[in-house]
């Protein structure tokens, strides 16, 4: 799949701008703080429904403006799409695809697929578990809208359970029947989430292993490490697991078990990379995982996602850069960089020089 055109109006530091992308490599270059990442952020918004870095939509609207308008034209092997988004500073954002209003953001995700790779992702290996959970969730949510729905349901119930646990702890630690209502709800959505995550890790492993082997000859192994340590991940088994641990959760005043604490363990040559990997091994593993994410999307959807590479070239050594360049050569990729020397420019490469929110 590829993006033909992106238009921004009142978005971040753009007054008005239009980009016509090549179906292959696009290099967005310029000094720091000129608006390069803002372009990738705009694309990401259409794919995931929310920004990869803004805490609230308000930040996305240009200072002094009341709303932002974005549009993107893209196509896959079957058809073309034209999507519009309006972000109102003091209101909601609305999205339409081919003139049909999209009511739920989870519906938006199945149209435009992207894999974003930013310097922060080098933390996939050594960073905190939430970086790895986000990696799993963004992959699964793009492929399966129902996964995202379960996740949202789960988080709603989790918030309620946490408030209740805090209250129970403050009130002297007695159990309360409402707790089992929340556990029931968490077991129901949690079972679906765990099953999906288990399946995802199994699939991504194969691709990531192959890629890591090609880059460095190392043996990569990714293991799902669920918070709920049970082979049986049926709804009933999870409910029992949670019920058996109610007292401990009340003691702590917060939910200690469940998919909100899941993690991945990443091994390179049989050793846990987070603890024992060299920086090089950790970077290779992160790169392998991200490229495997693209393969995963291709496998399920039959289309490669658009690759968004934000400023990562300077973080990779020449071998990894060359491997990456080879791998993405026939796919659409938007690369930002302050230094165009780091990027392999074939004749198909389209360059965009960004200065202070304008293409020059
Ligand atoms: N809502 C906004 N309105 C106007 N300018 C903004 C807004 N949000 C961010 N910016 C500006 O955008 C620039 C950062 O853009 P970014 O794409 O992150 O830069 P880079 O080129 O380094 O990737 C900064 O100059 C910042 O002040
Ligand atoms: Mg940037």
Residue 53 to residue 63: CA distance in whole angstroms: 17
At residue 136, the pLDDT reads 97
At residue 175, the pLDDT reads 77
Averages of pLDDT over each 10 residues, the chain, 360 residues: 98 98 95 97 94 93 97 96 96 93 84 92 92 94 92 97 95 86 98 98 96 96 97 97 96 97 97 94 94 96 95 88 90 92 76 95
Which ligand 1 atom lies nearest to the CA of residue 41? 17
Pocket lined around ligand 1, Cβ cut-off 6 Å: 12-13, 30, 32-38, 59, 61-63, 336
Domains in the chain with CATH codes: 1-113+304-360 (3.40.50.300), 120-302 (1.20.1050.90)
Distance 351 CA to ligand 1 centre (A): 20
At residue 334, the pLDDT reads 96
Distance 87 CA to ligand 1 centre (A): 17
At residue 211, the pLDDT reads 96
Which ligand 1 atom lies nearest to the CA of residue 60? 1
Pick from 9, 29, 37, 38 the residue to mutate for probing ligand 1's pocket: most ligand atoms within 8 Å of its CB. 38
Q: Which residues contact 171 (CB under 8 A, 6 or more apart)?
A: none
Q: Which residues contact 218 (CB under 8 A, 6 or more apart)?
A: 212, 268, 269, 281, 284
**Which residues have a beta carbon within 5 Å of ligand 2, which is an ion?**
36-37
At residue 193, the pLDDT reads 98
User: How far is CA 181 from each of CA 163, 175, 184, 260, 272, rounded to the nearest angstrom?
Assistant: 14, 12, 5, 18, 38
Pick from 30, 32, 33 the residue to mutate for probing ligand 1's pocket: most ligand atoms within 8 Å of its CB. 33
Residue 120 to residue 138: CA distance in whole angstroms: 15
At residue 108, the pLDDT reads 85
Distance 335 CA to ligand 1 centre (A): 17
């Amino acid at each position: 799949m590829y993006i033909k055109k992106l238009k921004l109006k009142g978005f971040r530091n753009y007054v008005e701008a239009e980009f016509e992308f090549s179906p292959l490599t696009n290099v967005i270059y310029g000094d720091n703080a000129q608006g390069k990442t803002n372009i990738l952020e705009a694309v990401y918004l259409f794919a995931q429904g929310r920004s990869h870095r803004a805490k609230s939509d308000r930040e996305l609207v240009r200072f002094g403006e009341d709303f932002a308008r974005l549009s993107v034209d893209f196509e896959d092997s079957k058809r073309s799409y034209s999507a519009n988004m309006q972000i109102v500073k003091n209101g909601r954002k609305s999205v339409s695809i081919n003139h049909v209003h999209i009511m739920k953001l989870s519906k938006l995700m199945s149209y435009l697929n992207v894999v974003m790779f930013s310097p922060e992702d080098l933390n996939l290996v050594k960073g905190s578990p939430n970086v790895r959970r986000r990696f799993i969730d963004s992959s699964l949510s793009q492929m399966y809208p129902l996964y995202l729905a379960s996740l949202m349901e789960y988080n709603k119930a989790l918030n309620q359970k946490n408030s209740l646990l805090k209250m129970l702890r403050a009130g002297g630690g007695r159990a309360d029947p409402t707790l089992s209502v929340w556990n029931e709800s968490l077991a129901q959505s949690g079972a679906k989430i765990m099953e999906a995550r288990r399946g995802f890790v199994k699939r991504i492993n194969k691709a990531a292993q192959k890629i890591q082997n090609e880059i460095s000859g190392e043996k990569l192994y990714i293991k799902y490490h669920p918070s709920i340590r049970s082979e049986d991940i049926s709804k009933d088994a999870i409910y029992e697991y949670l019920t058996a641990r109610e007292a401990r959760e009340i003691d702590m005043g917060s939910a200690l078990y469940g998919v909100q604490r899941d993690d991945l363990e990443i091994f390179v040559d049989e050793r846990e990379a987070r603890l024992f990997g060299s920086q090089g091994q950790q970077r290779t593993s992160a790169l392998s995982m991200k490229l495997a994410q693209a393969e995963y999307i291709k496998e399920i959807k039959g289309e490669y996602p658009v690759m968004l590479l934000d400023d990562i070239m300077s973080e990779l050594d020449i071998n990894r850069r060359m491997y990456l360049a080879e791998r993405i050569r026939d796919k659409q990729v938007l690369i930002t960089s302050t230094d165009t020397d780091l990027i392999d420019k074939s004749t198909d490469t389209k360059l965009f020089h960004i200065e202070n929110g304008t293409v020059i």
